[in-house]
Amino acid sequence: MAGPRERYRAQVRDEVKQHAWVQIAEAGVSALSLNAIAKQMGVSGPALYRYFASRDELITALIRDAYRSLADTVRTAYDGGTDAVGLAQVIRAWALADPQRYLLIYGTPVPGYHAPDETTAISDEILTVLVEAVGPDRAVSFWTRLHGVLSLELAGHFAGRDVDPAGLVEREISELVSSDRS
C-alpha cells in the first residue's frame, strides 16, 4: 500500500499529464511545455521537475499510458471473443475517442524524441493480439490497413467525400481475413 507521499506524487503526476493532454490537443505535442503546465497549476516550473525530470520524460509517460490503454483495450476485446473485424472497430473507437493519444503514438514523430525500448515494447503486446487473431502472416497487413484508414480519417481526408470510414475498415479487414482462408 502506498504511503501519503507516494499517493500525492501519483496525483500530481496525473494532474500534469492531464494538463499535457490539453496542451497537445490545443497546440500539438511540439508545443508541450512543463513551464506552461506549472503556470496552469499555480506552481513554479522547477517544482514540476521533481515529478518529471524533462519534457521527454513527460512525453514518455504519455506514450506509455497511451500504449497501455490501447494494449489493454485490444487484449480485453480479444479475450472477450471479439473477431478480427471487431478488433479493428475497437481500435478505431479507441482512436476516435481521443485522437491525441492515437496521434501521439502513431502520428508524426516528435522531433528529437526517442522512446525508450521498454516503452515501445508495450506496443508489441498489441501486435501479439493481432497475430493471435489473424495469424502472423496477416497481422502486419491488418495493422497497415487499419492505420491507413484511421490516419486518413483523423486527418480529415474523408471530409466532404462519400466515404464511410467504419464501413471501409470493416471491408478492408473482412477482405484480409477472407483472403487468409483462400
The pLDDT tens digits for 133-145 are 999 999 999 999 9
Q: What is the DSSP string of 70-89?
A: HHHHHHHHHHTT--HHHHHH
- Whether residue 151 sits in one domain with residue 70: yes
Please state the domain count of the chain: 2
Model confidence over 26-55: pLDDT tens digits?
999 989 999 999 999 999 989 999 999 999
- How far is residue 35's CA from residue 121's CA, in Å, rounded to a whole number? 30
- Whether residue 67 sits in one domain with residue 49: no
- Whether residue 171 sits in one domain with residue 81: yes
Q: Using CA atoms of 78, 81, 83, 85 in order, give the dihedral in degrees to the nearest 10.
A: -70
- Whether residue 173 sits in one domain with residue 155: yes
Q: Which of 68, 115, 119 is nearest to 94 (CA)?
A: 68
Once rounded to an integer, what is the mean pLDDT over residues 13-18? 97
* Alpha-carbon separation of residue 23 from 29, 67, 69, 109 (angstroms): 7, 19, 20, 17
Residues whose CB is less than 8 angstroms from the CB of residue 60 and which lie 6 or more positions away in sequence, other chains included: 115, 116, 119
CATH number at residue 22: 1.10.10
Per-residue confidence (pLDDT) for residue 78, from 0 to 100 = 98
Model confidence over 92-110: pLDDT tens digits?
999 999 999 999 999 988 9
- Whether residue 79 sits in one domain with residue 49: no
- Whether residue 159 sits in one domain with residue 82: yes
Q: Which of 108, 79, 75, 104 is nearest to 91 (CA)?
A: 75
Domain span holding position 42: 1-53
Among 53, 70, 90, identify where a domain stops: 53
- Full-model pTM: 0.92
- Whether residue 148 sits in one domain with residue 60: yes
Residues whose CB is less than 8 angstroms from the CB of residue 56 and which lie 6 or more positions away in sequence, other chains included: 113
Among 38, 53, 68, identify where a domain stops: 53
* Grid cell for residue 128: 501479439
Q: Are 70 and 126 in contact (CB under 8 A)?
A: yes
24 pLDDT more than 80: yes
